[in-house]
Amino acid sequence: MTVERGILLVVGALVLASVLLAVYSNLNWLWLTGLLGAHLMQASVTGFCPVVMALKKLGLPQKAGFS
């Protein structure tokens, strides 16, 4: 697994979890979904993403884009 695919896994799991929590628990969990979307847009502009830093520290390799 690469850093790029790790980001997709982490963010996808968090979005899915927040939607399921909103459906079965409390609609306030949708705020997490919105924050994740806002963070993805911010990261695409600034290049700063804490998930990337964490995955790099775990030793995952990086690739330029998807192949």
> Over the stretch 13-26, which tens digit does the pLDDT of each residue have?
999 999 999 999 99
Tell me which amino acid residue 55 is: L
3-state secondary structure of 47: coil
- Integer Cα distance of 49 and 43 in angstroms: 6
Phi, psi of 59 (to 5 degrees): 90, 15
| 19: CB partners within 8 A, 6+ apart | 29, 30, 33
Which pLDDT score is estimated for 63?
Answer: 84
Could you tell me the residue ranges of all domains in the chain?
Answer: 9-57
Contact 18, 32 (CB under 8 A): yes
Report pLDDT digits (tens) over 35-67. Answer: 999 999 999 999 899 989 999 999 999 887 665
